[in-house]
Chain A
């Protein structure tokens, strides 16, 4: 049972345009969400997070939006750059401050020059 779903396995975007990566979750007890970026043969690196008390968090070119009623979050990258090409994982936290992250299957983003 996949509690965190990334339904698009891949996404291709032109350099300079916006990339939108989507994530849906099923557990209403999740209260903290994170995005990780992963290059091949490397460990994921933390990108940006958002608490359920917010609906938007911005960090440079990266913005995460949270729609609690729809149990949906999205990561926007503007403008997209070729170096952004990677697999992006959405993750959700359950269990409060001692909980563990639940990851989605990831979306492979390709930014074409």
Chain B
């Protein structure tokens, strides 16, 4: 069966510090991978998606970046965090959006 792992569950980081969130998927090959952010009053905002290794599309301009070094690994990074980067970050995968997305358990990031 397919599973998705996302860590850490919670993170408190100072402004200006770097960020690395990791997401891995098991039990499927060549999934579409997504990073979403849930911020207060903003719903679920798509940040990045990837349809293959090294293929990253960004939906919104920001100081975050994403990478897909392996087929089932998706990483969200920042060189210098801003207060506005606080939120609940969710990784998801799908074989096609009509099949639905499977979300990870999320990371609560608080930038202080």
State the A residues within 8 Å of B (CB).
Answer: 6, 32, 34, 36, 41-46, 49, 89, 91, 93, 97-106
Contacts and interface: CB of A to CB of B under 8 A. Distances in A.
| Majority secondary structure, A binding face | strand
Contacts of A97: 96-98
How large, as a class, is the contact surface on chain B? 20 to 34
B90 A43 contact: yes
B60 to A, nearest CB: 12
A102 B104 CA distance: 18
Interface of B: 6, 9, 32, 34, 36, 41-46, 49, 51, 59, 90, 92, 96-98, 100-106, 108
A105 B41 contact: yes
Contacts of A99: 97
Contact of A105 (B6, B42, B101, B105): B42
Contacts of A89: 43-44
Among B6, B59, B96, chain A packs the most CB atoms within 10 A around the CB of B96
Nearest to A103: B44
A16 B6 CA distance: 36
Contact of B98 (A41, A45, A93, A103): A93
